[in-house]
């Protein structure tokens, strides 16, 4: 029986957010935050404003001690 390995997509995204994309001077995180703020403030997107407000009052998602994870039995890599 294959041994199950737990991976965390959340952790991988968090790591990737600190990288600087090719041809850019800012991290993915900085680019994402700038886009979110632009949508809320410059574009006046009320849904984005409410989402930011909600996140600031009560951070969404699972507890930091229990990140989203998935069990992977086997992943085939095609040539």
What's the predicted TM-score (pTM) here? 0.61
H or E stretch at 70: strand 70-72
Closest CA to 17 of 5, 1, 28, 31: 28
Q: What is the mean pLDDT of residues 62-78?
A: 53
Pairing of strands 70-72, 5-7: antiparallel
Residue 7 clears pLDDT 80, i.e. is over it: yes
Q: Is residue 79 part of a domain?
A: no
Count how many domains the chain has: 1
Report yes or no: 10 and 67 within 8 Å, Cβ to Cβ: yes
Q: Is residue 64 part of a domain?
A: yes
As a whole-number percent, the residues of the chain with pLDDT over 90 amount to 52
Q: Is residue 23 part of a domain?
A: yes
Q: Is residue 77 part of a domain?
A: no
Average pLDDT, the chain: 81
Domain ranges, residue 11: 5-72
């Amino acid at each position: 029986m294959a041994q199950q390995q737990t991976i965390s997509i959340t952790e991988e995204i968090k790591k990737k957010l600190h990288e600087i994309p090719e041809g850019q001077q800012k991290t993915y995180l900085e680019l994402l935050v700038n886009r979110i703020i632009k949508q809320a403030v410059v574009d006046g997107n009320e849904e984005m404003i409410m989402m930011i407000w909600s996140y600031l009052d009560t951070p969404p998602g699972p507890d930091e001690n229990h990140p989203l994870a998935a069990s992977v039995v086997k992943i085939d890599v095609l040539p």
